[in-house]
C-alpha cells in the first residue's frame, strides 16, 4: 500500500541513488501526513464536540499538531534540497536532520503536556458519556495512526531519512495515546470507572522517554558521528586496490547530509616512485570516488622509503613491539634519522578512543618498550586518536 501511494505521487520512487527522487519522496510523505492528520483532526473534533468528550477533543488537537510536524518535515526536505552557495559551501542537506530534531522536541513537549493533563484528571476526574460512534471513531483513528507509523517507517528506511523515522515514532506514540483514550472509554462505558488519568500518565511517560531517545538519535548526525564500519572497510579496500598505494591511515569522514559526504585520508606511496606518477594515482582515486561513490575525497600523499633494508627491518621490529604493548593500535609515517651517537625514530600511532590510557601514558609506555631494542634510540611519537580504524 505504501509503495503504491508513493509511486503514484513520485515518479521514479525507489531509485535510491537519485537525490531528486529522494527529496520528492520526503515531500510526498510529508503531504500524506498532513492530509491524514487533518482528516483525523476533523472527525475527532466533531465527535468530541457532540459527545462532550474533552479527551477526544484533546486527542484531536494532538493530530492537528502532528500536521504541523508534517509541515516542518515537508519544508525541511524542500530546504535540504537547495544547492550549495557562498554561505553554505557544503550544501543544505543537514536541514533535514534539523527538522527531525524539531519533530523530536515536539514529541517530548506533547508527552510532558499529556502527563500534566493526566495528573490533573487523576485529581479532578470528569464524567463523560461515550457513545458507539465515539468508540468507532477512536478505533478508526488507531488504525489510521498505525498505518501512518508503518508508512513513515517504510519510506524513511527506503530513502534513509532520520526525519521520517522520527515521525514514524511520533505516529507510534499517537497509537498508544489514542489507544489509552479508547481503553478508558470502553472501561468507563462497561464499568463506570474512570481510569483516563492513570492510563494517560502511563502513556505520557512512554512518550517522554521516546522523545528523549529521538532527540539523541536525530541530533547525533548534527554533532558528527563516526562512519559506519562497512563504509570504512569499503573505502580502505577500494583505495588499496590501486597500484602504487602501499598503506593508508588517518581516514576522516564528514557527513553534511545525504549526498554530501566529504572524506580525507593519508595514502602512503613509495618514496622512490616519481612524484608525478604518484600524484596521478592520487588524482585518479579522488576522481573515481566522486564519480562512483559520491564521496568528495581529499588525499594527502605520504612518501615512504622502501629501499632501505635497515629502516624496513627496524620498522617491522617497532611494529611488533607496539602491537605487543597495545594490540589495538597501528603505526604509520615511520622514518628514521640515523646518527652516530643516537638515532631518532619518528612515527605516528593511531589509537582508538576506546583505549583509556592518556596520550602521554601511551607515549611513555612505548618509549620504554622500544628502548629495549637499543638504548641509543630516541622516540618521537605522535598520537592520533581515531574513532574507527581500517581493516
362 vs 322: CA distance, rounded Å: 10
Task: Tell me what pLDDT residue 357 has.
Answer: 93
Binning the chain into helix, strand and coil, the percentages to the nearest 5 are 60, 15, 25
Residue at 46 is within a domain: yes
8 vs 118: CA distance, rounded Å: 41
The Cβ-side half-sphere exposure at 36, using a 13 Å CA radius, reads: 21
Task: Tell me what pLDDT residue 204 has.
Answer: 76
Q: What percent of the chain has pLDDT over 90?
A: 30
The answer to whether residues 313 and 184 belong to one domain is: no
- φ, ψ of residue 102 to 5 degrees: the values are -60, -45
Spell out the residues 6+ positions from residue 92 whose beta carbon is closer than 8 angstroms to its own.
79, 80, 81, 82, 83, 84, 257
The answer to whether residues 153 and 265 belong to one domain is: no
End-of-domain residue from the set 223, 249, 270: 223
**pLDDT of 161 strictly over 90:** no
DSSP string, 279-300: HHHHHHHHHHIIIII-EEEEEE
Q: What angle do CA 159, 108, 256 make, to 5 degrees?
A: 35
Can you tell me the mean pLDDT for 75-93?
75
- The domain tally of the chain equals 2
Task: Tell me what pLDDT residue 14 has.
Answer: 75
Can you tell me the mean pLDDT for 235-260?
86
* Range picked from 81-90, 141-150, 199-208 for highest mean pLDDT: 141-150
The answer to whether residues 166 and 281 belong to one domain is: no
The answer to whether residues 212 and 239 belong to one domain is: no
End-of-domain residue from the set 179, 201, 223: 223
The answer to whether residues 84 and 187 belong to one domain is: yes
Residue at 168 is within a domain: yes
The answer to whether residues 52 and 168 belong to one domain is: yes
At 378, which CATH number? 3.30.70.1350
The answer to whether residues 264 and 199 belong to one domain is: no
Can you tell me the mean pLDDT for 11-25?
78
Work out the pLDDT band at 259, boundaries 50, 70, 90. Answer: low
**pLDDT of 191 strictly over 60:** yes
The answer to whether residues 64 and 133 belong to one domain is: yes
End-of-domain residue from the set 203, 223, 243: 223
Output the furthest CA–CA distance in the chain (Å, rounded): 98
CA nearest to 48, candidates 119, 129, 116, 148: 129
**pLDDT of 369 strictly over 90:** yes
The answer to whether residues 295 and 174 belong to one domain is: no
The answer to whether residues 212 and 303 belong to one domain is: no
The answer to whether residues 81 and 216 belong to one domain is: yes
The answer to whether residues 309 and 175 belong to one domain is: no
Q: Which domain holds residue 286?
A: 229-386
Task: Tell me what pLDDT residue 282 has.
Answer: 95
Residue at 318 is within a domain: yes
Work out the pLDDT band at 128, boundaries 50, 70, 90. Answer: low
Task: Tell me what pLDDT residue 119 has.
Answer: 85
pTM: 0.59
Residue appearing with cell numbers 570504512: 232
Residue at 391 is within a domain: no
Amino acid at each position: 500500500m505504501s509503495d503504491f501511494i508513493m509511486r503514484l505521487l513520485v515518479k521514479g520512487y525507489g531509485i535510491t541513488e537519485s537525490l531528486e527522487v529522494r527529496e520528492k519522496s520526503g515531500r510526498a510523505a510529508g503531504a500524506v501526513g498532513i492530509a491524514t492528520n487533518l482528516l483525523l483532526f476533523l472527525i475527532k473534533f466533531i465527535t468530541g464536540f457532540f459527545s462532550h468528550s474533552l479527551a477526544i477533543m484533546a486527542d484531536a488537537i494532538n493530530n492537528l499538531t502532528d500536521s504541523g510536524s508534517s509541515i516542518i518535515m515537508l519544508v525541511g526536505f524542500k530546504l535540504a534540497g537547495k544547492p550549495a552557495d557562498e554561505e553554505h559551501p557544503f550544501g543544505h542537506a543537514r536541514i533535514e536532520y534539523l527538522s527531525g530534531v524539531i519533530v523530536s522536541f515536539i514529541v517530548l513537549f506533547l508527552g510532558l503536556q499529556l502527563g500534566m493533563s493526566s495528573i490533573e484528571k487523576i485529581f479532578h476526574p470528569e464524567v463523560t458519556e461515550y457513545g458507539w460512534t465515539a468508540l468507532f471513531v477512536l478505533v478508526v483513528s488507531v488504525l489510521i495512526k498505525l498505518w501512518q507509523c508503518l508508512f513513515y517507517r517504510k519510506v524513511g528506511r527506503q530513502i534513509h531519512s532520520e526525519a521520517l523515522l522520527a515521525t514514524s515514532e511520533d505516529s507510534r506514540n499517537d497509537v498508544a495515546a489514542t489507544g489509552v483514550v479508547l481503553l478508558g472509554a470502553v472501561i468507563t462505558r462497561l464499568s463506570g470507572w474512570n481510569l483516563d488519568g492513570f492510563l494517560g500518565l502511563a502513556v505520557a511517560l512512554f512518550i517522554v522517554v521516546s522523545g528523549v531517545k529521538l532527540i539523541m538519535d536525530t541530533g547525533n548526525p548534527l554533532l558528527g558521528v563516526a562512519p559506519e564500519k562497512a563504509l570504512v572497510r569499503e573505502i580502505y579496500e577500494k583505495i588499496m586496490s590501486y597500484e602504487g598505494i602501499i598503506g593508508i591511515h588517518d581516514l576522516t569522514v564528514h557527513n553534511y547530509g545525504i549526498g554530501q559526504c566529504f572524506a580525507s585520508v593519508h595514502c602512503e606511496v613509495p618514496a622512490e616512485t616519481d612524484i608525478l606518477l604518484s600524484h596521478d594515482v592520487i588524482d585518479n582515486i579522488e576522481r573515481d570516488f566522486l564519480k562512483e561513490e559520491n564521496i568528495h575525497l581529499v588525499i594527502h600523499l605520504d612518501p615512504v622509503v622502501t629501499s632501505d633494508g635497515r629502516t624496513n627491518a627496524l620498522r617491522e621490529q617497532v611494529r611488533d613491539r607496539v602491537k605487543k604493548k597495545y594490540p589495538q593500535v597501528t603505526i604509520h609515517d615511520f622514518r628514521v634519522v640515523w646518527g652516530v651517537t643516537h638515532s631518532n625514530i619518528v612515527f605516528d600511532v593511531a589509537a582508538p578512543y576506546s583505549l583509556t590510557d592518556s596520550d602521554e601514558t601511551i607515549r611513555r609506555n612505548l618509549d620504554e618498550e622500544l628502548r629495549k631494542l637499543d638504548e641509543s634510540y630516541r622516540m618521537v611519537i605522535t598520537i592520533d586518536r581515531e574513532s574507527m580504524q581500517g581493516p
